[in-house]
Structure 1
């Protein structure tokens, strides 16, 4: 049944060609009559889909899926679709490069850091909402911050300490 549960969102995301929330995946599948092939039981199958996707992404390094945790609700996509949306930057004149905003690259950096740097979670920091009212405020805060939780490298004592309340 696990394979059917993961084939269901894979088929739907391939058809739509865009990231989708679990409720969007479920609604699309119901509209097309795919829910009968998924083997779902219960009152909230979209929650089951979300849980299966999260488990697959976290536990399976060869997972076909990726998640965008920077939006709420989370959007799931296939790695193939995300990679095809990343357009390489072509050589352009200097005045054309100035048209890009730094935030345009944040989603690419987030994808790269999560996929290729051992699941580094990133978050964008908006320097414009800072309380500092000087002309250098954009240099006070970083644009992106990242964090990784390498629990597999922790010592036994550190794991015991993290389990205490």
Structure 2
């Protein structure tokens, strides 16, 4: 008898169930059908190993039979059992990537508007701190400028004469 691998296990379960399944569902069904007994050694989290094997197979092998049928939760299915669902999903992924908007302004361009709002409505004084002029070029480097504000409640104080 041929030794069972995680990829063969996933393939077998998906062929028997004939529907997209998540990694946890594949492992749960494998345990119910006693396929897990065909492995000589199993670690503490075999479902994680199964998921890792399927993901790596999809990433490294262009000719793999697995594909991701949906995400959140990630469900997998076999290409040869699907009826054109792969092309539909790939086209929707391309459309979603085209819809991503690119902003034509920087965060620091919004600071004058935020300063106006803070001063006019909150009576707070603000200052933009631009860290891009900093000499830090390591892990702690600041990428975006910060804005700080201060409110002085002096005008709100009432003078109590005695």
Q: If the length of structure 2 is used for normalisation, what is the TM-score?
A: 0.52
Question: Given the superposition, is the C-alpha separation of residues 33 and 20 from structure 1 closer, same or farther in structure 2, using an over 3 Å criterion?
Answer: same
Q: How many residues align?
A: 98
Of 110, 119, 129, which aligns to 2:89?
Answer: 110
Instruction: Measure, in 2, the Cα distance between the counterparts of 1:31 and 1:3.
Output: 16
Question: Does structure 1 residue 34 correspond to structure 2 residue 30?
Answer: no
Contact 1:65-1:78 at 8 Å conserved across structures = yes
Q: Tell me how far 1:26 sits from its aligned partner.
A: 0.5
Q: Secondary structure at the match of 1:63?
A: coil
Listed as ranges, the matches of 1:9-28 within 5 Å are: 9-28=10-29
Q: Tell me how far 1:5 sits from its aligned partner.
A: 1.3
Tell me what 1:76 maps to: 76
Question: Given the superposition, is the C-alpha separation of residues 67 and 60 from structure 1 closer, same or farther in structure 2, using an over 3 Å criterion?
Answer: same
Tell me what 1:122 maps to: 93
Give unpaired runs (5+ residues) of structure 2: 99-137, 140-162
Q: If the length of structure 1 is used for normalisation, what is the TM-score?
A: 0.51
Contact 1:18-1:77 at 8 Å conserved across structures = yes
Contact 2:4-2:38 at 8 Å conserved across structures = no
Moved over 6 A (4+): none
Tell me what 1:145 maps to: 96
Contact 1:5-1:40 at 8 Å conserved across structures = no
Instruction: Measure, in 2, the Cα distance between the counterparts of 1:50 and 1:78.
Output: 15
Structure showing greater radius of gyration is 2
Q: Deviations over 1:42-66 (max 9, x none)?
A: 2211111111000000100110100
Tell me what 1:61 maps to: 62
Give unpaired runs (5+ residues) of structure 1: 88-106, 114-120, 124-143, 148-163
